[in-house]
């Protein structure tokens, strides 16, 4: 198994090839695989930092990091967390999320961290100390759960 390579970048500094890989991965998983027609390009990409996880030359996983005030008034957040199908049930998802948490904690050390998780993955995110807040709700007809990171 090769070593995972991470790239963290603003939207403007992503290359055209990186952007194509990101949009392709998000489209294949969130729209095609999950059969959910929604606007993936939501106007927030420019406000995010983008964490790309490569296995050799293949984009294996990805997430967006938002500073406080973008998605939530008093919290930073992670979003569009995705691992490509061939890389699921490997270390990549855990490494990606851990790296995203660590980057966020480093940049915003005393700020709450939130995610809007698909409800089916609530238990998965609890291993990172995210805790459910409130009731399950629908986003684009998929059950979601707001979660916050315990410090």
Query: Mapped to the 3 state alphabet, what secondary structure does the chain carry?
Result: CCCEEEEEEECCCCCHHHHHHHHHHHHHHHHHHCCCCCCCCCCCHHHCEEEEEEECCEEEEEEEEECCCCCECCEEEEEEEEECHHHCCCCHHHHHHHHHHHHHHHHCCCCEEEEEEEHHHHHHHHCCCEEEEEEEEEECCEEEEEEEECC
Average pLDDT (99-113) is 95
pLDDT score for 151: 65
Average pLDDT over residues 14-40: 94
Instruction: Decide which of 80 and 2 is more confident.
Output: 80
Give me the count of residues in the chain: 151
Measured distance CA(118)–CA(59) in Å, rounded: 22
Strand bridging mode 130-139 / 142-149: antiparallel
CB 113 within 8 A of CB 104: yes
- Band of the pLDDT at 1, cuts 50, 70, 90? very low
Across all residues in the chain, what is the average pLDDT?
94
- Residues 53 and 62: beta-carbon distance below 8 Å: yes
| Locus of tokens 């759960």 | 145
- Whether 150 shows a pLDDT value over 80: the answer reads no
Residue carrying the six token digits 């684009």 = 140
Per-residue pLDDT for 22 more than 90?
Answer: yes
Q: Does the pLDDT at position 119 exceed 60?
A: yes
Residue 37 makes CB contacts below 8 A (sequence gap 6+) with: 31, 140
Kindly state the average pLDDT of the residues 45-74.
96
pLDDT of 64 higher than 90 = yes
Mean pLDDT, to the nearest integer, of 63-70? Answer: 97
Residue 78: strand, helix, or coil:
strand
Give the per-residue pLDDT at 60: 97
- Tell me the pLDDT band of 9, cut-offs 50, 70 and 90: very high
Would you say the pTM of this structure is higher than 0.85? yes
User: Mean per-residue pLDDT for 12-35?
Assistant: 95
């Amino acid at each position: 198994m090769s070593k995972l390579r991470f790239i963290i970048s603003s939207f403007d500094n992503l290359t055209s090839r990186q952007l194509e890989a990101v949009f392709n991965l998000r489209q294949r998983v969130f729209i095609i695989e999950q059969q959910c027609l929604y606007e993936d390009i939501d106007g927030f990409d420019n406000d995010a930092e983008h964490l790309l996880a490569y296995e050799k030359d293949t984009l294996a996983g990805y997430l967006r990091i938002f500073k406080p005030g973008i998605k939530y008034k008093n919290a930073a957040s992670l979003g569009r967390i995705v691992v490509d199908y061939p890389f699921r049930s490997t270390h990549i998802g855990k490494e990606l999320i851990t790296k995203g948490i660590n980057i966020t904690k480093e940049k915003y050390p005393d700020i709450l961290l939130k995610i809007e998780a698909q409800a089916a993955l609530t238990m998965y995110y609890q291993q990172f100390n995210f805790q459910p807040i409130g009731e399950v709700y629908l986003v684009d007809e998929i059950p979601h759960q707001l979660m916050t990171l315990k410090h």
